[in-house]
Structure 1
Amino acid sequence: MHETIAVVFDFDDTLAPDTTSGFLRHCGLDDVGRFWRECVDPRVTREDWDPVPAYLYEMIVAARDGRLPPITRERLADWGRMAPLHPGVETLFARLRRAARDANPRVNLEFYVISSGIGDVLRHTRIAHELTDLWASEFHYDERGHAVFPRRVISFTDKTRYLFHVQKGLVGPQHRGKPFEVNRKLPAERLRVPLNQMIFVGDGYTDIPCFSLLKQHGGVPIAVYDRQREDKWGNAFQFVRDGRVANLHSANYREDSDLSTFLLMAVRSLCTDIALAARTYQG
Protein backbone atom coordinates (compact mmCIF):
# COMPACT_ATOMS: atom_id res chain seq x y z
CA MET A 1 0.00 0.00 0.00
CA HIS A 2 1.06 3.58 -0.70
CA GLU A 3 0.77 5.45 2.59
CA THR A 4 2.53 8.71 1.72
CA ILE A 5 0.83 11.96 0.75
CA ALA A 6 2.82 14.75 -0.91
CA VAL A 7 1.86 18.41 -0.69
CA VAL A 8 3.84 20.22 -3.38
CA PHE A 9 4.13 24.00 -3.61
CA ASP A 10 5.37 26.51 -6.08
CA PHE A 11 7.18 29.21 -4.08
CA ASP A 12 7.19 32.74 -5.50
CA ASP A 13 3.74 34.35 -5.25
CA THR A 14 2.47 31.06 -3.78
CA LEU A 15 4.19 30.77 -0.38
CA ALA A 16 5.80 34.20 -0.46
CA PRO A 17 5.91 37.47 -2.37
CA ASP A 18 8.17 37.14 -5.41
CA THR A 19 11.61 36.47 -3.93
CA THR A 20 13.45 37.40 -7.13
CA SER A 21 11.95 40.89 -7.24
CA GLY A 22 12.64 41.11 -3.51
CA PHE A 23 16.29 40.20 -4.08
CA LEU A 24 16.63 42.86 -6.76
CA ARG A 25 15.22 45.48 -4.38
CA HIS A 26 17.44 44.18 -1.59
CA CYS A 27 20.45 44.70 -3.87
CA GLY A 28 19.45 48.32 -4.50
CA LEU A 29 17.97 48.10 -8.02
CA ASP A 30 16.10 51.39 -8.37
CA ASP A 31 13.15 50.25 -10.48
CA VAL A 32 12.40 46.54 -10.29
CA GLY A 33 9.29 46.92 -12.45
CA ARG A 34 11.41 48.44 -15.16
CA PHE A 35 13.84 45.47 -14.97
CA TRP A 36 10.99 43.06 -15.78
CA ARG A 37 9.28 45.38 -18.27
CA GLU A 38 12.30 46.61 -20.24
CA CYS A 39 14.89 43.86 -19.81
CA VAL A 40 13.12 40.54 -19.36
CA ASP A 41 9.85 41.02 -21.27
CA PRO A 42 11.51 42.02 -24.58
CA ARG A 43 13.63 38.85 -24.46
CA VAL A 44 10.42 36.85 -24.23
CA THR A 45 8.18 38.74 -26.65
CA ARG A 46 10.69 39.85 -29.29
CA GLU A 47 13.41 37.19 -29.16
CA ASP A 48 11.32 34.14 -28.17
CA TRP A 49 13.23 33.39 -24.95
CA ASP A 50 11.68 31.23 -22.27
CA PRO A 51 10.76 33.57 -19.38
CA VAL A 52 12.90 31.77 -16.78
CA PRO A 53 16.33 31.79 -18.50
CA ALA A 54 15.48 35.32 -19.65
CA TYR A 55 15.27 36.65 -16.09
CA LEU A 56 18.28 34.64 -14.90
CA TYR A 57 20.37 35.93 -17.81
CA GLU A 58 19.28 39.52 -17.30
CA MET A 59 20.25 39.32 -13.62
CA ILE A 60 23.73 38.21 -14.67
CA VAL A 61 23.91 41.09 -17.19
CA ALA A 62 22.78 43.59 -14.54
CA ALA A 63 25.52 42.39 -12.18
CA ARG A 64 28.10 42.53 -14.96
CA ASP A 65 27.30 46.13 -15.89
CA GLY A 66 27.11 47.36 -12.29
CA ARG A 67 23.35 47.79 -11.83
CA LEU A 68 23.53 44.97 -9.29
CA PRO A 69 26.39 43.88 -7.03
CA PRO A 70 27.95 40.52 -7.93
CA ILE A 71 25.44 37.70 -7.53
CA THR A 72 26.96 35.19 -5.12
CA ARG A 73 25.61 32.23 -3.18
CA GLU A 74 26.18 34.13 0.04
CA ARG A 75 24.24 37.20 -1.12
CA LEU A 76 21.34 35.06 -2.33
CA ALA A 77 21.33 33.04 0.91
CA ASP A 78 21.34 36.22 3.02
CA TRP A 79 18.24 37.41 1.21
CA GLY A 80 16.58 34.02 1.55
CA ARG A 81 16.96 34.14 5.34
CA MET A 82 15.15 37.48 5.55
CA ALA A 83 12.62 37.09 2.70
CA PRO A 84 9.00 37.57 3.85
CA LEU A 85 6.44 34.77 3.61
CA HIS A 86 2.69 34.91 3.14
CA PRO A 87 0.59 34.98 6.34
CA GLY A 88 0.39 31.66 8.18
CA VAL A 89 2.96 29.82 6.07
CA GLU A 90 5.37 29.15 8.94
CA THR A 91 2.75 27.31 11.00
CA LEU A 92 0.99 25.57 8.10
CA PHE A 93 3.20 22.48 7.99
CA ALA A 94 2.64 21.52 11.63
CA ARG A 95 -1.12 22.02 11.23
CA LEU A 96 -1.28 19.76 8.18
CA ARG A 97 0.88 17.09 9.83
CA ARG A 98 -1.41 17.12 12.86
CA ALA A 99 -4.47 16.79 10.61
CA ALA A 100 -2.94 13.82 8.80
CA ARG A 101 -1.94 12.13 12.06
CA ASP A 102 -5.43 12.55 13.49
CA ALA A 103 -7.10 11.22 10.32
CA ASN A 104 -4.80 8.26 9.71
CA PRO A 105 -1.72 7.68 11.92
CA ARG A 106 -0.21 5.36 9.30
CA VAL A 107 0.08 8.14 6.71
CA ASN A 108 3.38 9.91 6.12
CA LEU A 109 2.85 13.53 4.99
CA GLU A 110 5.68 15.12 3.00
CA PHE A 111 6.20 18.64 1.66
CA TYR A 112 8.05 19.69 -1.49
CA VAL A 113 8.77 22.86 -3.46
CA ILE A 114 9.08 22.92 -7.26
CA SER A 115 9.84 26.49 -8.32
CA SER A 116 11.13 28.59 -11.19
CA GLY A 117 12.73 30.79 -8.53
CA ILE A 118 16.37 30.70 -7.43
CA GLY A 119 17.41 27.67 -5.39
CA ASP A 120 20.14 29.48 -3.45
CA VAL A 121 17.44 31.81 -2.11
CA LEU A 122 14.74 29.24 -1.41
CA ARG A 123 17.02 26.77 0.41
CA HIS A 124 17.67 29.40 3.07
CA THR A 125 14.12 30.57 3.75
CA ARG A 126 12.60 30.01 7.17
CA ILE A 127 10.56 27.03 5.98
CA ALA A 128 13.27 25.14 4.10
CA HIS A 129 13.68 22.70 7.00
CA GLU A 130 10.03 21.62 6.58
CA LEU A 131 10.66 20.25 3.07
CA THR A 132 11.54 16.72 2.08
CA ASP A 133 13.09 18.12 -1.10
CA LEU A 134 13.22 21.28 -3.18
CA TRP A 135 13.89 21.84 -6.88
CA ALA A 136 14.46 25.31 -8.33
CA SER A 137 16.43 27.18 -10.98
CA GLU A 138 20.16 27.44 -10.30
CA PHE A 139 23.17 29.55 -11.24
CA HIS A 140 26.65 28.35 -12.14
CA TYR A 141 29.38 30.38 -10.36
CA ASP A 142 32.89 31.17 -11.58
CA GLU A 143 36.15 30.94 -9.61
CA ARG A 144 35.32 34.26 -7.89
CA GLY A 145 31.97 32.90 -6.75
CA HIS A 146 30.00 35.15 -9.15
CA ALA A 147 26.96 33.85 -11.04
CA VAL A 148 27.85 33.56 -14.73
CA PHE A 149 25.32 31.16 -16.27
CA PRO A 150 22.01 29.45 -15.51
CA ARG A 151 22.87 25.78 -14.90
CA ARG A 152 19.32 24.64 -14.22
CA VAL A 153 16.09 26.11 -15.53
CA ILE A 154 12.72 24.97 -14.19
CA SER A 155 9.84 26.23 -16.27
CA PHE A 156 6.42 24.98 -17.41
CA THR A 157 6.63 21.21 -18.10
CA ASP A 158 10.00 21.02 -16.34
CA LYS A 159 7.93 21.20 -13.16
CA THR A 160 6.05 18.00 -14.00
CA ARG A 161 9.38 16.20 -14.24
CA TYR A 162 9.84 16.76 -10.51
CA LEU A 163 6.33 15.55 -9.71
CA PHE A 164 7.52 12.28 -11.22
CA HIS A 165 10.60 12.43 -8.98
CA VAL A 166 8.23 12.59 -6.01
CA GLN A 167 6.05 9.83 -7.47
CA LYS A 168 9.02 7.47 -7.90
CA GLY A 169 10.80 8.41 -4.67
CA LEU A 170 13.76 10.02 -6.43
CA VAL A 171 14.29 12.57 -3.67
CA GLY A 172 17.26 13.64 -1.58
CA PRO A 173 20.97 14.19 -2.27
CA GLN A 174 21.56 10.60 -3.40
CA HIS A 175 19.53 11.27 -6.53
CA ARG A 176 21.33 14.45 -7.58
CA GLY A 177 23.45 14.22 -10.71
CA LYS A 178 21.30 11.40 -12.10
CA PRO A 179 19.01 13.18 -14.57
CA PHE A 180 17.93 10.05 -16.42
CA GLU A 181 16.59 8.15 -13.40
CA VAL A 182 13.21 9.80 -13.72
CA ASN A 183 12.66 8.05 -17.06
CA ARG A 184 12.77 4.59 -15.49
CA LYS A 185 9.42 2.84 -15.70
CA LEU A 186 8.28 1.42 -12.37
CA PRO A 187 5.38 -0.92 -11.71
CA ALA A 188 2.47 0.69 -9.88
CA GLU A 189 3.21 -1.13 -6.62
CA ARG A 190 6.72 0.40 -6.50
CA LEU A 191 5.60 4.02 -6.87
CA ARG A 192 6.25 5.89 -3.65
CA VAL A 193 3.54 8.55 -4.02
CA PRO A 194 0.84 8.01 -6.67
CA LEU A 195 -0.26 11.18 -8.44
CA ASN A 196 -3.73 10.84 -6.91
CA GLN A 197 -2.13 11.23 -3.46
CA MET A 198 -0.57 14.58 -4.32
CA ILE A 199 -1.75 18.13 -3.72
CA PHE A 200 -0.17 20.88 -5.82
CA VAL A 201 -0.47 24.57 -4.90
CA GLY A 202 0.62 27.18 -7.44
CA ASP A 203 -0.20 30.60 -8.79
CA GLY A 204 1.13 31.15 -12.28
CA TYR A 205 1.40 30.06 -15.88
CA THR A 206 4.44 27.85 -15.20
CA ASP A 207 2.24 25.81 -12.83
CA ILE A 208 -0.38 24.93 -15.46
CA PRO A 209 1.29 21.62 -16.50
CA CYS A 210 1.29 20.48 -12.86
CA PHE A 211 -2.34 21.55 -12.42
CA SER A 212 -3.31 19.60 -15.54
CA LEU A 213 -1.30 16.48 -14.70
CA LEU A 214 -2.77 16.14 -11.21
CA LYS A 215 -6.30 16.86 -12.35
CA GLN A 216 -5.96 14.18 -15.04
CA HIS A 217 -4.77 11.60 -12.51
CA GLY A 218 -7.07 12.39 -9.58
CA GLY A 219 -4.76 14.60 -7.52
CA VAL A 220 -5.73 17.95 -6.00
CA PRO A 221 -4.58 21.08 -7.93
CA ILE A 222 -5.13 24.35 -6.04
CA ALA A 223 -4.51 27.86 -7.39
CA VAL A 224 -3.74 30.84 -5.17
CA TYR A 225 -3.52 34.54 -5.84
CA ASP A 226 -2.04 37.51 -3.99
CA ARG A 227 -4.66 40.04 -2.90
CA GLN A 228 -2.05 42.78 -3.37
CA ARG A 229 -1.37 41.83 -7.01
CA GLU A 230 -4.59 42.83 -8.75
CA ASP A 231 -2.71 42.72 -12.06
CA LYS A 232 -2.58 38.91 -11.71
CA TRP A 233 -6.20 38.28 -10.67
CA GLY A 234 -7.32 37.70 -14.24
CA ASN A 235 -4.69 35.01 -14.73
CA ALA A 236 -5.74 33.25 -11.54
CA PHE A 237 -9.42 33.31 -12.42
CA GLN A 238 -8.63 31.89 -15.85
CA PHE A 239 -7.37 28.73 -14.16
CA VAL A 240 -10.90 28.26 -12.80
CA ARG A 241 -12.62 29.08 -16.08
CA ASP A 242 -10.39 26.60 -17.89
CA GLY A 243 -11.17 23.91 -15.32
CA ARG A 244 -7.51 23.42 -14.42
CA VAL A 245 -7.82 23.61 -10.62
CA ALA A 246 -9.99 22.24 -7.85
CA ASN A 247 -10.19 25.57 -6.07
CA LEU A 248 -8.91 29.15 -6.01
CA HIS A 249 -8.00 31.04 -2.83
CA SER A 250 -6.05 34.09 -1.79
CA ALA A 251 -2.55 33.23 -0.53
CA ASN A 252 -3.48 33.49 3.16
CA TYR A 253 -2.44 30.39 5.11
CA ARG A 254 -3.57 31.52 8.56
CA GLU A 255 -5.40 28.90 10.59
CA ASP A 256 -8.82 30.48 10.07
CA SER A 257 -8.42 31.10 6.32
CA ASP A 258 -10.38 29.34 3.59
CA LEU A 259 -7.13 28.17 1.98
CA SER A 260 -5.87 26.60 5.19
CA THR A 261 -9.24 24.92 5.74
CA PHE A 262 -9.34 23.56 2.20
CA LEU A 263 -5.82 22.14 2.53
CA LEU A 264 -6.82 20.46 5.79
CA MET A 265 -9.90 19.00 4.10
CA ALA A 266 -7.82 17.72 1.18
CA VAL A 267 -5.25 16.07 3.47
CA ARG A 268 -7.93 14.46 5.62
CA SER A 269 -9.81 13.20 2.56
CA LEU A 270 -6.69 11.59 1.11
CA CYS A 271 -5.92 10.02 4.50
CA THR A 272 -9.42 8.54 4.57
CA ASP A 273 -9.07 7.23 1.02
CA ILE A 274 -5.80 5.52 1.96
CA ALA A 275 -7.40 3.90 5.02
CA LEU A 276 -10.31 2.61 2.94
CA ALA A 277 -7.97 1.25 0.29
CA ALA A 278 -5.93 -0.51 2.97
CA ARG A 279 -9.00 -2.23 4.39
CA THR A 280 -10.03 -3.31 0.91
CA TYR A 281 -6.53 -4.57 0.14
CA GLN A 282 -6.43 -6.63 3.35
CA GLY A 283 -9.76 -8.15 2.43
Structure 2
Amino acid sequence: MRETIAVIFDFDDTLAPDSTSGLLQKLGVDVEIFWRDEVEPLIRDDWDPVPAYLVKMIQKSRSGEVETITQQMLEDWGQRLPLHVGVTSIFQRIRDHAKKINPRISIEFYLISSGIEDVLRHTQIAHEFHDIWASNFSYDETGAIAYPKKVVSFTDKTRYIFHIKKGLSVDAVRGKPFEVNRKMPSGRSRIPLNQMIFVGDGYTDIPCFTLVRKGGGIAIGVYDNERRDRWGRAWGFVEDGRVSNLVPADFEEKRALSNSLIMAVESLAQKISLQGNIYQG
Protein backbone atom coordinates (compact mmCIF):
# COMPACT_ATOMS: atom_id res chain seq x y z
CA MET A 1 0.00 0.00 0.00
CA ARG A 2 1.13 3.60 -0.61
CA GLU A 3 2.23 5.26 2.63
CA THR A 4 1.45 8.84 1.62
CA ILE A 5 -0.68 11.45 3.37
CA ALA A 6 -2.05 14.40 1.37
CA VAL A 7 -2.47 17.63 3.34
CA ILE A 8 -4.64 19.92 1.22
CA PHE A 9 -5.06 23.63 1.90
CA ASP A 10 -7.37 26.34 0.72
CA PHE A 11 -5.44 29.64 0.51
CA ASP A 12 -7.41 32.84 1.09
CA ASP A 13 -8.30 33.33 4.77
CA THR A 14 -6.77 29.91 5.46
CA LEU A 15 -3.04 30.41 4.88
CA ALA A 16 -3.18 34.18 4.36
CA PRO A 17 -5.55 37.17 4.42
CA ASP A 18 -7.67 37.36 1.26
CA SER A 19 -5.13 37.82 -1.54
CA THR A 20 -7.55 39.36 -4.04
CA SER A 21 -8.81 41.96 -1.58
CA GLY A 22 -5.21 42.73 -0.67
CA LEU A 23 -4.28 43.37 -4.30
CA LEU A 24 -7.33 45.55 -4.92
CA GLN A 25 -6.68 47.53 -1.75
CA LYS A 26 -3.09 48.09 -2.90
CA LEU A 27 -4.54 49.51 -6.15
CA GLY A 28 -6.69 51.96 -4.19
CA VAL A 29 -10.00 50.08 -4.44
CA ASP A 30 -12.44 50.20 -1.54
CA VAL A 31 -12.74 46.42 -1.16
CA GLU A 32 -15.92 46.54 0.92
CA ILE A 33 -17.68 48.46 -1.86
CA PHE A 34 -16.13 46.19 -4.51
CA TRP A 35 -17.55 42.99 -2.99
CA ARG A 36 -20.85 44.48 -1.79
CA ASP A 37 -21.82 46.84 -4.61
CA GLU A 38 -20.09 45.32 -7.65
CA VAL A 39 -19.72 41.58 -7.15
CA GLU A 40 -22.78 40.89 -5.00
CA PRO A 41 -25.31 42.23 -7.59
CA LEU A 42 -23.92 39.74 -10.14
CA ILE A 43 -24.31 36.92 -7.63
CA ARG A 44 -27.94 37.97 -7.03
CA ASP A 45 -28.32 37.81 -10.82
CA ASP A 46 -27.30 34.13 -10.62
CA TRP A 47 -23.61 34.50 -11.45
CA ASP A 48 -21.21 32.10 -9.79
CA PRO A 49 -19.19 34.13 -7.24
CA VAL A 50 -15.79 33.31 -8.75
CA PRO A 51 -16.36 34.39 -12.39
CA ALA A 52 -18.26 37.37 -10.95
CA TYR A 53 -15.20 38.70 -9.15
CA LEU A 54 -12.85 37.83 -12.03
CA VAL A 55 -15.01 39.75 -14.53
CA LYS A 56 -15.28 42.76 -12.23
CA MET A 57 -11.49 42.83 -11.88
CA ILE A 58 -11.16 42.78 -15.68
CA GLN A 59 -13.66 45.64 -16.00
CA LYS A 60 -11.77 47.72 -13.44
CA SER A 61 -8.47 47.04 -15.16
CA ARG A 62 -9.82 48.03 -18.60
CA SER A 63 -11.71 51.11 -17.40
CA GLY A 64 -8.62 52.99 -16.27
CA GLU A 65 -10.14 53.30 -12.80
CA VAL A 66 -7.07 51.48 -11.46
CA GLU A 67 -3.63 50.70 -12.81
CA THR A 68 -3.87 48.03 -15.51
CA ILE A 69 -3.73 44.60 -13.89
CA THR A 70 -1.10 42.50 -15.64
CA GLN A 71 0.33 39.04 -15.19
CA GLN A 72 3.55 40.60 -13.90
CA MET A 73 1.59 42.61 -11.32
CA LEU A 74 -0.14 39.45 -10.08
CA GLU A 75 3.16 37.60 -9.81
CA ASP A 76 4.80 40.52 -7.99
CA TRP A 77 1.91 40.70 -5.54
CA GLY A 78 2.25 36.97 -4.86
CA GLN A 79 5.86 37.49 -3.83
CA ARG A 80 4.91 40.24 -1.37
CA LEU A 81 1.58 39.23 0.07
CA PRO A 82 1.53 38.51 3.82
CA LEU A 83 0.85 35.07 5.26
CA HIS A 84 -0.72 34.03 8.54
CA VAL A 85 1.67 33.67 11.44
CA GLY A 86 3.58 30.38 11.48
CA VAL A 87 2.67 29.36 7.93
CA THR A 88 6.22 29.29 6.56
CA SER A 89 7.35 26.70 9.12
CA ILE A 90 4.28 24.43 9.39
CA PHE A 91 5.21 22.28 6.38
CA GLN A 92 8.54 21.06 7.73
CA ARG A 93 7.09 20.62 11.22
CA ILE A 94 4.45 18.30 9.79
CA ARG A 95 7.03 16.35 7.78
CA ASP A 96 9.31 15.96 10.78
CA HIS A 97 6.50 14.72 13.02
CA ALA A 98 5.28 12.20 10.45
CA LYS A 99 8.78 10.73 10.20
CA LYS A 100 8.84 10.24 13.97
CA ILE A 101 5.61 8.24 13.80
CA ASN A 102 6.56 6.16 10.76
CA PRO A 103 9.78 6.77 8.79
CA ARG A 104 8.15 5.33 5.67
CA ILE A 105 5.35 7.92 5.65
CA SER A 106 5.65 10.69 3.08
CA ILE A 107 3.67 13.93 3.24
CA GLU A 108 2.49 15.75 0.12
CA PHE A 109 1.02 19.23 0.35
CA TYR A 110 -1.55 20.53 -2.16
CA LEU A 111 -3.27 23.86 -2.69
CA ILE A 112 -6.83 24.13 -4.07
CA SER A 113 -8.13 27.69 -4.16
CA SER A 114 -10.70 29.97 -5.75
CA GLY A 115 -8.01 32.66 -5.71
CA ILE A 116 -5.76 33.66 -8.60
CA GLU A 117 -3.20 31.06 -9.63
CA ASP A 118 -0.59 33.53 -10.91
CA VAL A 119 -0.60 35.12 -7.45
CA LEU A 120 -0.46 31.87 -5.50
CA ARG A 121 2.30 30.30 -7.60
CA HIS A 122 4.62 33.15 -6.64
CA THR A 123 4.15 33.21 -2.86
CA GLN A 124 7.06 32.37 -0.59
CA ILE A 125 5.46 28.98 0.19
CA ALA A 126 4.58 27.94 -3.38
CA HIS A 127 7.53 25.53 -3.50
CA GLU A 128 6.04 23.52 -0.62
CA PHE A 129 3.13 22.27 -2.73
CA HIS A 130 3.17 19.12 -4.82
CA ASP A 131 0.52 20.80 -7.03
CA ILE A 132 -1.52 24.01 -7.08
CA TRP A 133 -4.98 24.41 -8.59
CA ALA A 134 -6.65 27.84 -8.65
CA SER A 135 -8.62 30.25 -10.84
CA ASN A 136 -6.82 32.23 -13.50
CA PHE A 137 -6.99 34.79 -16.29
CA SER A 138 -5.96 34.75 -19.92
CA TYR A 139 -3.90 37.79 -20.93
CA ASP A 140 -3.87 40.07 -23.96
CA GLU A 141 -0.82 40.97 -26.04
CA THR A 142 0.24 43.60 -23.47
CA GLY A 143 0.07 41.14 -20.58
CA ALA A 144 -3.15 42.65 -19.16
CA ILE A 145 -5.91 40.44 -17.79
CA ALA A 146 -8.42 39.78 -20.60
CA TYR A 147 -10.84 36.92 -19.80
CA PRO A 148 -11.43 34.35 -17.06
CA LYS A 149 -9.48 31.29 -18.19
CA LYS A 150 -10.08 28.86 -15.34
CA VAL A 151 -12.63 28.98 -12.55
CA VAL A 152 -12.26 26.96 -9.34
CA SER A 153 -15.32 27.20 -7.13
CA PHE A 154 -17.41 25.03 -4.78
CA THR A 155 -17.68 21.55 -6.31
CA ASP A 156 -14.91 22.44 -8.80
CA LYS A 157 -12.61 22.03 -5.82
CA THR A 158 -13.66 18.41 -5.34
CA ARG A 159 -12.55 17.71 -8.90
CA TYR A 160 -8.99 18.32 -7.78
CA ILE A 161 -9.43 16.10 -4.73
CA PHE A 162 -10.02 13.33 -7.27
CA HIS A 163 -6.93 14.44 -9.21
CA ILE A 164 -4.93 13.88 -6.02
CA LYS A 165 -6.63 10.56 -5.37
CA LYS A 166 -5.81 9.30 -8.86
CA GLY A 167 -2.32 10.82 -9.02
CA LEU A 168 -3.14 13.24 -11.85
CA SER A 169 -0.74 16.18 -11.71
CA VAL A 170 -1.38 19.64 -13.16
CA ASP A 171 1.07 18.96 -15.99
CA ALA A 172 -0.36 15.49 -16.72
CA VAL A 173 -3.86 16.84 -17.39
CA ARG A 174 -2.97 20.13 -19.05
CA GLY A 175 -5.34 20.42 -22.02
CA LYS A 176 -7.09 17.19 -20.96
CA PRO A 177 -10.02 18.33 -18.78
CA PHE A 178 -11.82 14.98 -18.90
CA GLU A 179 -8.85 12.88 -17.78
CA VAL A 180 -10.13 12.93 -14.19
CA ASN A 181 -13.15 10.88 -15.34
CA ARG A 182 -10.95 8.02 -16.44
CA LYS A 183 -11.98 4.87 -14.57
CA MET A 184 -9.46 3.55 -12.10
CA PRO A 185 -9.32 -0.09 -10.98
CA SER A 186 -10.73 -0.68 -7.50
CA GLY A 187 -8.14 -0.25 -4.76
CA ARG A 188 -5.63 1.46 -7.07
CA SER A 189 -5.95 5.01 -5.73
CA ARG A 190 -2.61 6.75 -5.43
CA ILE A 191 -3.79 8.51 -2.25
CA PRO A 192 -7.18 7.33 -0.94
CA LEU A 193 -9.56 9.78 0.71
CA ASN A 194 -8.91 8.25 4.12
CA GLN A 195 -5.30 9.42 3.82
CA MET A 196 -6.22 13.06 3.20
CA ILE A 197 -6.49 16.12 5.44
CA PHE A 198 -8.33 19.17 4.10
CA VAL A 199 -7.94 22.61 5.70
CA GLY A 200 -10.23 25.47 4.68
CA ASP A 201 -12.27 28.37 5.95
CA GLY A 202 -15.24 29.18 3.74
CA TYR A 203 -18.36 28.19 1.88
CA THR A 204 -16.39 27.18 -1.22
CA ASP A 205 -14.65 24.56 0.93
CA ILE A 206 -17.83 22.80 2.07
CA PRO A 207 -17.89 20.19 -0.75
CA CYS A 208 -14.27 19.28 0.03
CA PHE A 209 -14.96 19.13 3.78
CA THR A 210 -17.84 16.76 3.10
CA LEU A 211 -16.06 14.59 0.53
CA VAL A 212 -12.94 14.08 2.63
CA ARG A 213 -14.85 13.39 5.84
CA LYS A 214 -17.20 10.90 4.18
CA GLY A 215 -14.16 9.18 2.67
CA GLY A 216 -12.60 8.67 6.10
CA GLY A 217 -10.18 11.60 6.00
CA ILE A 218 -9.99 14.62 8.29
CA ALA A 219 -11.43 18.11 7.64
CA ILE A 220 -10.20 21.08 9.69
CA GLY A 221 -12.00 24.42 9.60
CA VAL A 222 -10.15 27.64 10.41
CA TYR A 223 -11.36 31.13 11.17
CA ASP A 224 -9.76 34.56 11.55
CA ASN A 225 -9.73 35.74 15.16
CA GLU A 226 -10.00 39.33 13.91
CA ARG A 227 -13.12 38.73 11.80
CA ARG A 228 -15.96 38.39 14.31
CA ASP A 229 -18.44 38.74 11.44
CA ARG A 230 -17.36 35.31 10.19
CA TRP A 231 -17.37 33.42 13.49
CA GLY A 232 -21.00 32.38 13.09
CA ARG A 233 -20.28 30.95 9.64
CA ALA A 234 -17.31 29.02 10.99
CA TRP A 235 -19.30 27.63 13.91
CA GLY A 236 -21.95 26.50 11.45
CA PHE A 237 -19.40 24.12 9.91
CA VAL A 238 -19.15 22.37 13.29
CA GLU A 239 -22.89 22.30 13.88
CA ASP A 240 -23.46 20.79 10.43
CA GLY A 241 -20.77 18.17 10.94
CA ARG A 242 -18.73 19.54 8.04
CA VAL A 243 -15.41 19.60 9.89
CA SER A 244 -13.59 17.45 12.42
CA ASN A 245 -12.21 20.49 14.24
CA LEU A 246 -12.46 24.29 14.18
CA VAL A 247 -9.50 26.46 15.21
CA PRO A 248 -8.11 29.99 14.72
CA ALA A 249 -5.89 30.53 11.65
CA ASP A 250 -2.64 30.70 13.64
CA PHE A 251 0.02 28.19 12.52
CA GLU A 252 2.59 28.94 15.23
CA GLU A 253 4.09 25.92 16.96
CA LYS A 254 2.01 24.58 19.87
CA ARG A 255 -1.02 26.69 18.92
CA ALA A 256 -4.38 24.97 18.39
CA LEU A 257 -4.16 24.77 14.58
CA SER A 258 -0.60 23.49 14.54
CA ASN A 259 -1.51 20.90 17.19
CA SER A 260 -4.62 19.86 15.25
CA LEU A 261 -2.61 19.32 12.07
CA ILE A 262 0.08 17.37 13.91
CA MET A 263 -2.52 15.16 15.62
CA ALA A 264 -4.39 14.61 12.35
CA VAL A 265 -1.19 13.51 10.59
CA GLU A 266 -0.30 11.30 13.55
CA SER A 267 -3.71 9.66 13.49
CA LEU A 268 -3.55 8.88 9.77
CA ALA A 269 0.09 7.75 10.00
CA GLN A 270 -0.77 5.31 12.77
CA LYS A 271 -3.70 3.91 10.76
CA ILE A 272 -1.48 3.46 7.71
CA SER A 273 1.13 1.68 9.82
CA LEU A 274 -1.51 -0.61 11.29
CA GLN A 275 -2.93 -1.45 7.87
CA GLY A 276 0.58 -2.13 6.59
CA ASN A 277 1.25 -4.52 9.45
CA ILE A 278 -2.02 -6.36 8.75
CA TYR A 279 -1.13 -6.74 5.05
CA GLN A 280 2.37 -7.99 5.93
CA GLY A 281 1.00 -10.36 8.52
| Pairwise TM-score range, normalised by the shorter structure | over 0.9
Identity between Structure 1 and Structure 2 (%):
59
Distance 2:71 2:63 in 1: 19
The match for 2:108 is: 110
How many pairs are equivalent?
Answer: 281
Q: Is 2:218 the counterpart of 1:220?
A: yes
The match for 2:236 is: 238
**AA in 2 matched with 1:19:** S
The match for 2:126 is: 128
Distance 1:143 1:59 in 2: 18
Give the TM-score, by structure 2 length.
0.98
The match for 1:205 is: 203
**AA in 2 matched with 1:40:** V
Distance 1:196 1:190 in 2: 13
Matches within 5 A, 1:4-19: 4-19=4-19
Report if aligned partners of 1:2, 1:194 keep a CA contact under 8 Å in 2: no
The match for 1:148 is: 146
The match for 1:49 is: 47
Distance 2:65 2:33 in 1: 12
Pairing partner for 2:277 from 269, 273, 279: 279
Closer, same or farther in 2 for the Cα pair 1:127/1:233, shift >3 Å? same
What displacement does 1:256 show? 1.6
**AA in 1 matched with 2:214:** Q
What displacement does 1:172 show? 4.0
The match for 1:33 is: 32
Give the TM-score, by structure 1 length.
0.98
Distance 1:193 1:67 in 2: 46
Q: Which stretch shows the higher mean deviation, 199-208 or 169-178? A: 169-178
Q: What's the secondary structure of 2:243's corresponding residue?
A: coil
- For residues 69-125 of structure 1, what are the alpha-carbon distances to aligned partners after superposition, in whole Å with 9 as ceiling and x for unaligned? 111110001110010000100000000000111111111100000000000000000
What displacement does 1:142 show? 1.1
What displacement does 1:178 show? 1.5
Report if aligned partners of 1:9, 1:200 keep a CA contact under 8 Å in 2: yes
Q: What's the secondary structure of 1:267's corresponding residue?
A: helix
The match for 1:170 is: 168
- For residues 112-164 of structure 1, what are the alpha-carbon distances to aligned partners after superposition, in whole Å with 9 as ceiling and x for unaligned? 00000000000000100000000000001111111111010000000000000
The match for 1:270 is: 268
Q: What's the secondary structure of 1:190's corresponding residue?
A: coil
Distance 2:171 2:276 in 1: 31
Q: Which stretch shows the higher mean deviation, 64-73 or 49-58? A: 64-73
Runs of 5+ unmatched residues, structure 2? none
The match for 1:75 is: 73
Distance 1:170 1:57 in 2: 29
**AA in 1 matched with 2:193:** L
Q: What's the secondary structure of 2:165's corresponding residue?
A: helix
Distance 2:70 2:140 in 1: 10
What displacement does 1:174 show? 3.0
Distance 2:172 2:275 in 1: 31
The match for 2:3 is: 3
- For residues 197-234 of structure 1, what are the alpha-carbon distances to aligned partners after superposition, in whole Å with 9 as ceiling and x for unaligned? 00000000000000010111111011000011111111
Q: What's the secondary structure of 1:145's corresponding residue?
A: coil
Distance 1:201 1:97 in 2: 16
**AA in 2 matched with 1:56:** L
Q: What's the secondary structure of 2:187's corresponding residue?
A: helix
